[in-house]
Structure formats: C-alpha cells, structure tokens
Amino acid sequence: MAGATPRQETLIAVTFAEQGNAVQALAWLRDLESQGHVAIEGLALVIRNQDGQIAENHLTDGNWAGRAGGGLVGLLVGILGGPLGILLGGSAGVLIGALVDGHHADQADSVVSDISKSIQVGQTAVVAALVEDRPESIDTAMTRLGGRVLRRPVDDVKAEVALADKAQRAAEKEARTQLREARHKMHRDEIHVKFEEMKTKLHRPKPAAAMDS
C-alpha cells in the first residue's frame, strides 16, 4: 500500500530483571505475530549466570522450541555463550567492531558487544530476529513488562557474526603473541640477573693472604 511504512528486518535483545516477565514477553510476541505486526524468524531466551556467562534457557513450549536453530539468533547465542562472548566488552568486543567497519579499534563500536553488555548478571533476555512494520508495537509491549529493548539492523548483526570466527582467531593470536613476548622478556631478565651475579663474583676482591706468624 502506497505510503505504508516499509517493514524492517531487525534483531532485538530485550532484557528483564525477572525471568517471568521474559516468558510473558514471548506470549506478547506471539500475539503480535498473530496480528501480523511482526514476522519472527528466530528467537531464544537467554540468561546471564552469576559467573558472567550467557546460556540459552531452552524453551519447552512446542510453538517456540527450536526457533533459534542454526539461523542468525542461534549463531549469535553461540557466540555470546562461547569463549569470544566472555571477552566481549573488552578487547575482543572492540576487535569485532574494528573488523566490521575498518576503523581503528579504539574508535569502533561492536553490535555484538552492545548486545552482550545489555544483558547484566542475573538478567534474562529475549533475543529475536524479526521483520516488523511498527517498532513501537514491540517497544510498548516490552516496556510494559519492564523490558529494555536494544534494536539493531539484521545486516549489521550478520556482518559481525560472519566475522566472529576471524575475530576469535585474531584475539587468540594476540594472546599468544603477548604470552610469547612475556616469556622472552622473562628469559632475558633472568639472563641479565645471572650475568650481573657472575660479574659481581668475578670482580669481588680476593681476601688478603694470611701473614706468616
């Protein structure tokens, strides 16, 4: 229809302090989908444990189980819950952003890092890839449940997910480089200490010979 708002393909992460509200949010998303306001392409319920790691809270409802699958949401959750996800918000999060937009690392933003940071310890989040015609429909529904909505274009998330493996390899390479340099530095320092000890012994004045009585 002429003049209609174009439907947008987005990924949302909605965080809740209470898991019950997150579960209720799933029902609201189902209603919005049945009303034709959104088309959900992937969905997961995740929680950040007390140890800081993000884990998927598998849904038992047959209408939702498996919606994450191997698509964008499933891949994203895998990254957030894996080794790279642990580093997000630090050097790895910056590194992904640098790989995506080509800027210097300290100037780059990371979509995946933003999503990871939005989920605090003890919080539950609904992560969904969807096509929506009125973002305010979701925003209003989630806000009523106490949810905080983070919305990013699907293309941006796909770009970072596609580069995540490259970023992880780069982070691991950097870690190995730093460890190697530290090892070599420690070795040189030890050599220097030993060398100085040997010089001290070499130039130590010899005790005067005892005089004959």
Distance CA 20, CA 45 (A): 11
Answer yes or no: is 199 within a domain: no
Q: Residue 41 CA to chain centroid, in angstroms?
A: 21
Q: Structure pTM?
A: 0.67
| 34-63: average pLDDT | 80
Alpha-carbon dihedral angle through residues 42, 78, 151, 50, given to the nearest 10 degrees: 120
Q: Kindly state whether residue 187 falls inside one of the protein's structural domains.
A: no
Residue 44 corresponds to which tokens in the numbers above? 């997961």
pLDDT of 87 reads 54
Q: For residue 132, tell me if it sits in a domain.
A: yes
Scan for tokens 């174009």, then name that residue. Answer: 6
Do 126 and 45 form a contact (C-beta atoms < 8 A)?
yes
Is 2 inside a domain boundary?
A: no
pLDDT at 117 over 50: yes
Residue 109 has pLDDT above 70, yes or no: no
Asked, for residue 67, whether it belongs to a domain, the answer is yes
pLDDT band at 161 (very low <50, low <70, confident <90, very high): confident
Tokens of 212: 């004959």
Residue type (1 letter), 133: D
Chain center to CA of 169: 15
Q: Please determine, for residue 152, whether its predicted confidence score (pLDDT) is greater than 90.
A: yes
Number of domains in the chain: 1
- The answer as to whether 68 is a domain residue is yes
For residue 101, the enclosing domain spans 8-176
